[in-house]
Amino acid sequence: MTDTLSRRTFIGAGAAALAGSVLPGQAGALESPAIVLRGAARPTAISSANSLAPVSRALELVLQGSDTLDAAVEGVKIQELDPKDNSVGYGGLPNEDGVVQLDASCVHGPTRRAGAVGSLEGIKTPSEVAKLVLKYTNHIMLVGEGAKKFALSYGFQDEDLLTPESRQLWLTWRANRGGSDDWLDVPDKTPMVVRPTGTINLNVVNAAGDLSSVTTTSGLAWKINGRVGDSPIVGAGQYTDNDVGSAGSTGRGESNIMVCGGFLTVEHMRRGMSPTDACLETLRRVMAMTPPRLLREDGRPAFSLQFYALNKKGEYGAASFFRARYAVHDGSGASFKDCAVLYPPK
């Protein structure tokens, strides 16, 4: 028996094969999980296409010996602190009342722990607060005023997160939201035909095969006060199983919540799918759960959704309904790559 395939793994594999066997005439047997072989991994960071900076920073820290969760959070913080990125953190687009409410969650693979915050106001880096929930509490999620009080107790500063640019976008939306209201239409050089959404998901693996994931967002622009999407929900916005891999998403959160997309994508990888195929299969499940009111006349979704996945070996992939990109750094340099698409251009 080789060092790679231990006696314990061999016995477990035999049990799994027996459990997955089907006798003649027998129905309903469950598919057995894939055998997970441990070994060295290729350090890799994969993220949504907000910027190349997060994956570059995350991989740099991992190669220096940092913990994967610390590296992932430091990566997404670059975008959270960038006032020009209005999808997350400082400068994120506000709710319908003009208030920026932020969400984030994270999972640390080696310790099997998670942390999250929802509807957090006044704190630029919700990913850091989510990590503190993971590290210092026996809870997973804190929301609203409680989350803010918790953050302030750790020395975070209460700040105005609405930048002049995001404020102007909100004012324009408010003035133009209805043709029969009492607000005057305001010309806009770049009218927003599609309602803005924005998020960053980042997944990291080190040479030992330890994984972590984090997702952070300002959520759907002009959302109802208190609305929370998939980003702070462990198993939806992101998920990590240190024996298998990590996955997360960006796009319409409500549709992802309905399929627990982060968890489901990891489970697809557990059953032997490649990261790309796992993402595509989760998108198919989303479509099966999508009501007609969210479909276009041609039957395709009237919203966007992307999934990003990374397995324990350092293999990665991403998929989207339509054309989209993602960012990755696997040691050979940071670059943007095209997502696999469920619906190719007609």
Q: What is the pLDDT of residue 177?
A: 77
Rounded distance, CA 122 to CA 31, Å? 47
Pairwise CA distance, residues 29 & 8, whole Å: 24
Q: Using an 8 Å Cβ cutoff, are 198 and 88 in contact?
A: yes
pLDDT over threshold 80, residue 127: yes
Better-scored residue on pLDDT, 68 or 345: 68
Q: Between 141 and 28, whose confidence is greater?
A: 141
**Whole-number pLDDT of residue 194:** 47
Which regions of the chain does DSSP assign to beta strands (E)? 44-48, 102-108, 113-120, 141-143, 199-205, 211-217, 238-241, 245-251, 305-311, 316-320, 325-329, 334-338, 340-341
- Give me the pLDDT at residue 19, please: 43
The share of the chain scoring above pLDDT 70, in percent, equals 83
Q: Is the pLDDT of residue 110 over 90?
A: yes
**Nearest to residue 106, comparing CAs of 136, 132, 137?**
132
Q: Is the pLDDT of residue 128 over 50?
A: yes
- Of 1 and 196, the one with more pLDDT: 196
Q: What percent of the chain has pLDDT over 90?
A: 80
The pLDDT of residue 62: 98
Segment holding 334, helix H or strand E: strand 334-338
> With bands split at pLDDT 50, 70 and 90, how would you rate the model's confidence at 27?
very low
- 174 versus 81: the higher-pLDDT residue is 81
pLDDT average, residue stretch 284-297: 97
pLDDT at 250: 97
Domains detected in the chain: 73-178+199-234 (no CATH), 243-346 (3.60.20.30)
Q: Report the chain's mean pLDDT, rounded to a whole number.
A: 88
Work out the end-to-end distance of the chain between its first and last CA atoms, rounded to an integer number of angstroms.
53
Retrieve residue 165's tokens. Answer: 């640019």
Per-residue pLDDT, averaged over 300-308, amounts to 97
Asked if 79 contacts 50 with a C-beta cutoff of 8 angstroms, the reply is yes
Q: Which of 44, 172, 197, 199 is catalytic?
A: 199
- Structure confidence at residue 198 (pLDDT): 74
The pTM assigned to this predicted structure is 0.86
- The DSSP symbol for 236 reads T
pLDDT at 337 over 90: yes
Phi/psi of residue 269, each to 5°?
A: -65, -35
| Phi (first) and psi of residue 251, to 5 degrees | 120, -155
Q: Give the integer Cα–Cα distance in Å for 186 and 156.
A: 37
Residue with the larger pLDDT of the pair 345 and 119:
119
**Whole-number pLDDT of residue 268:** 98
300 band by pLDDT with thresholds 50, 70 and 90: very high
Is pLDDT of 309 > 60? yes
> Do the strands 316-320 and 340-341 form a parallel or antiparallel pair, or are they unpaired?
parallel
For residues 174 and 183, is the Cβ–Cβ distance under 8 A? Answer: yes
216 labelled catalytic: no
Kindly tell me if the per-residue pLDDT of 33 is higher than 90: no
pLDDT band at 7 (very low <50, low <70, confident <90, very high): very low
pLDDT at residue 45 tops 50: yes
Examine the pLDDT at 2 and tell me if it is beyond 50. Answer: no
Q: 148-190 pLDDT, tens per residue?
A: 999 999 999 999 999 999 999 999 888 887 655 555 555 555 4
pLDDT score, position 180: 54
